[in-house]
Homo-oligomer: A and B are copies of this chain.
Amino acid sequence: MDIRKLFGANVRYYRIAAGLSQEAVAERMGVDRAYVSMIERGSQNATLLSIHETAQALDVKPAYLLADPPAGFDQ
């Protein structure tokens, strides 16, 4: 799986698990909602610092966002 899609699927998984909207995550990160949407679609080649900010916004460890997503969630 393309690592950008893997990252996106995990961001989406943890965002939904936290009951947050893309808007809420974007606000926490200080970015536009469209950026969060691009991340979740797997079209963003995020940098380490963006991965860190996304993990902080979702209150998870950065490594979780590159781990294999839970079975069935990467559709």
Contact = CB atoms under 8 A, between A and B. Distances in A.
Interface residues of A, number: 19
Nearest to A8: B48
A64 B64 CA distance: 10
A23 to B, nearest CB: 23
A3 interface: yes
A66 B10 CA distance: 14
A3 B66 CA distance: 14
Contacts of A63: 63-64, 66-68
Interface of A: 3-4, 6-7, 45-49, 51-52, 61-68
8 contacts: A3-B48, A3-B49, A3-B51, A6-B62, A47-B47, A51-B66, A63-B64, A63-B68
